[in-house]
Structure 1
Amino acid sequence: AYLRGLHVIRHVPQPVSSVLDFGDRNPLELGNHRDAGGRVGFLGAKALALSLMVNTSIIKLNLSDNWLQGEGAAAIAEMLKENCYISAVDLSDNKLGAEGAKAFSAMLLENTTIVSLQLSGNEFDDHAAKYLADALIANSKVEILDLSYNMLGDKAGEVLGMAIAENIGLKELKISWNHFCSQGAAALAKGLGANIYLKVLDVSYNGFDNSGAAALGEALKTNNVLEELNISNNRISVEGALRFALGLKENKTLKNLNMTRNPMQSEGCFGVLKALQANSDSSIEILDLP
């Protein structure tokens, strides 16, 4: 079916021999084929989509680092509206942009089988975040979402924060290596405080600063679900660490906390330890401090 699709679409890049007939192979791994005859590209994605539309054996699809761009993402998204077998999709590093975000948002309004979605490194900005937020609010099936290594800023934090508050499906969210600063961080933290499903959150390598840390501390006072939190490398100083620690005094569910690569100094680290010591109901098992 894939070969027939290639004949339908002109000028499709020559696919690598290893994927000409994927048959019943599962998972379908086409990620990072730069050393095997060239990337799939958006034309190749269209050809693949034709075949996967009716495929009933593939449940995991990896098309990472294949230069799909928005047009290729749209083709894959249309396929996923029809395919009810694929449950894990990796489209990391494909330059999907806002067009790709829009296509996948529309798909997630209809798809009920995808539980894991990797979309890191796709040049998603604040404009793209609006589409992603719509999907988070409407979709309750995706449990793992990776939006790391993008260009999401404070405006994105505001819309995503509201979406996180309403989402009833996500269990793991990675939004590290973005551009969230104090304002966006506060909005994300507010969403976390209202969320009752999320268990793992990675916001490392952003710019939360002290105000963002304080907002996270407030969220931890009310959130009784989160188990893992990574806030490493967020410019959190002594002040931020102490304000964040106020949440640790009351939180009962957090098990794994990473605060490394923050300028907290000894005073900030001591404040965190003291807060945990004062909380007899703390569940902390793993603690990483600077």
Structure 2
Amino acid sequence: TMQPSLQTLEQGKCERPGRQTCYVTACKKFRVVPASYFLQHMQNSTLVMMHRGLGPQGTKALAVPLVTNTSILRLNLRDNWMEGMGGAAIAEMLKGNCYITEVDLSNNNLEVYGAKAIAGMLKENSTLVRLILSGNHFTDRSTEHLCPALITNTKLQHLDLSYNALGESAGEHMGDALSENTGLRSLNLAWNCIRQKGAVMLANGLGENVFLRILDLSFNGFGKEGASALGQALKENNVLEELNISNNRIPPEGAIHLAMGLKVNKTIKSLNIGRNPILNAGCYGILKSVQDNPDSALETLDFSDITVSRDFDDLYTAVKEIFPALRVNHGGCFGTFSKAKA
């Protein structure tokens, strides 16, 4: 089946009284049963149609009336098995629709074909603010398309690419995009496979970024090199407020390098480095860097599941005197049975 172009979507343009007719006609064309839920809710500002098994054809039919819909501002089509073809129909629709600001296309098996179409859309669309693309089997080839689009697009503020298969090259592509992007405020790259050189390049891009406030890198493989590069990025970056690097196989040396960045950073409010093998030495080094930084903005330090020593506890008591609001979470102290949560 051919991909509907914006022109064919435009031909099915719905006149106000005939919006429903327009959708029903599209459903006949694509041989699918109309979704009664859509017919009932097409005038709402939020349309949530999750887990409805639309498939590629059902998604194409839905895209036709959405081109001219002026009511829907938030569109959630999570888990509809739309695949690349359905994803491309939604992307094509978003080139014509200038009302929708939030779209959730997670768990739709979009793969590289869908990623390419979304990238094309991002180069033209200027209304989308939030885009959720988690769980779509995106690989390094997908970011080859998406990342250049992120350099062009300045309106998108929140992007979620978690639970994909982004690897080393994807880290490099994202690094390039981050160094030049001027729109993103939050980026979620959790549960991917970004490691080694890719992790370092992504961190380098972060060092040059001047807009991003929230970055989630949890469940990747940043390790020692990635953490060291992030330490360097934190010396240069003066906007990032929340960083999650939990579950990244970071050793104590990596944490010490990261601490060097925290020693001079003035903006980070929340750091989650829990569930890493940084041991007490890593936790101590990070807390010490806060003590040595009079301009530290840190409010929350998360060392979940990492056991600390009495020395750490004593240091925390001292740091609390300078930063009374600082909250530290860890996996308890050696030699005590109670879980310590400050």
| Cα shift at 1:26 | 2.1
1:2·1:21 contact (CA, 8 Å) conserved in 2? no
The alignment partner of 1:28 has SS state of: strand
Q: Which moved more, 1:1-10 or 1:165-174?
A: 1-10
Q: Deviations over 1:174-231 (max 9, x none)?
A: 0010000121110100000000000000000000001100000000000000000000
Residue of structure 1 in register with 2:16 after alignment: none
User: Equivalents in 2 of 1:242, 1:54: separation in Å?
Assistant: 55
Matching residue's letter, 1:269: C
1:66 aligns with 2:87: no
Q: Deviations over 1:78-106 (max 9, x none)?
A: 10000000000000000100000000000
Q: What's the C-alpha RMSD, in Å, of the aligned pairs?
A: 0.9
- Residue of structure 1 aligned with 2:155, choices 134, 141, 161: 141
User: Equivalents in 1 of 2:24, 2:73: separation in Å?
Assistant: 20
Q: Deviations over 1:25-61 (max 9, x none)?
A: 221101123xxxxx11110111111000100000000
1:6 aligns with 2:20: no
Decide which structure has the larger Cα Rg and report it.
2
Matching residue's letter, 2:24: L
Residue of structure 2 in register with 1:36 after alignment: none
| Cα shift at 1:17 | 3.4
| Cα shift at 1:126 | 0.6
User: Equivalents in 2 of 1:175, 1:107: separation in Å?
Assistant: 21
2:24·2:34 contact (CA, 8 Å) conserved in 1? no
- Residue of structure 1 aligned with 2:96, choices 77, 82, 85: 82
User: Equivalents in 2 of 1:212, 1:231: separation in Å?
Assistant: 10
Please show how residues 205-224 of structure 1 align to structure 2 within 5 Å.
205-224=219-238
Residue of structure 1 in register with 2:38 after alignment: 19
Relative contact order higher in (CA < 8 Å, ≥ 6 apart)? 1
- Residue of structure 2 aligned with 1:279, choices 293, 298, 307: 293
1:3·1:20 contact (CA, 8 Å) conserved in 2? no
The alignment partner of 1:242 has SS state of: helix
1:147·1:176 contact (CA, 8 Å) conserved in 2? yes
The alignment partner of 1:46 has SS state of: helix
Unaligned stretches of 5+ residues in structure 1: 34-38
Residue of structure 2 in register with 1:260 after alignment: 274
The alignment partner of 1:21 has SS state of: helix
The alignment partner of 1:76 has SS state of: helix
Matching residue's letter, 1:17: S
| Cα shift at 1:135 | 1.1
- Residue of structure 2 aligned with 1:91, choices 93, 97, 105: 105
Matching residue's letter, 1:45: T
Residue of structure 2 in register with 1:124 after alignment: 138
Residue of structure 2 in register with 1:181 after alignment: 195
Q: Identity across aligned pairs (percent)?
A: 54
Q: Which moved more, 1:24-33 or 1:163-172?
A: 24-33
Moved over 6 A (4+): none
Please show how residues 151-166 of structure 1 align to structure 2 within 5 Å.
151-166=165-180
Unaligned stretches of 5+ residues in structure 2: 1-21, 307-342
| Cα shift at 1:286 | 1.0
User: Equivalents in 2 of 1:177, 1:281: separation in Å?
Assistant: 32
Q: Deviations over 1:218-248 (max 9, x none)?
A: 0000000000000000001111111111000
The alignment partner of 1:25 has SS state of: coil
1:195 aligns with 2:209: yes
Residue of structure 1 in register with 2:249 after alignment: 235
2:200·2:229 contact (CA, 8 Å) conserved in 1? yes
User: Equivalents in 2 of 1:96, 1:43: separation in Å?
Assistant: 14
User: Equivalents in 1 of 2:244, 2:45: separation in Å?
Assistant: 32
Matching residue's letter, 1:9: F
Q: Deviations over 1:231-285 (max 9, x none)?
A: 0000011111111110000100000110111011111100000011100000001
The alignment partner of 2:280 has SS state of: helix
Matching residue's letter, 1:32: H
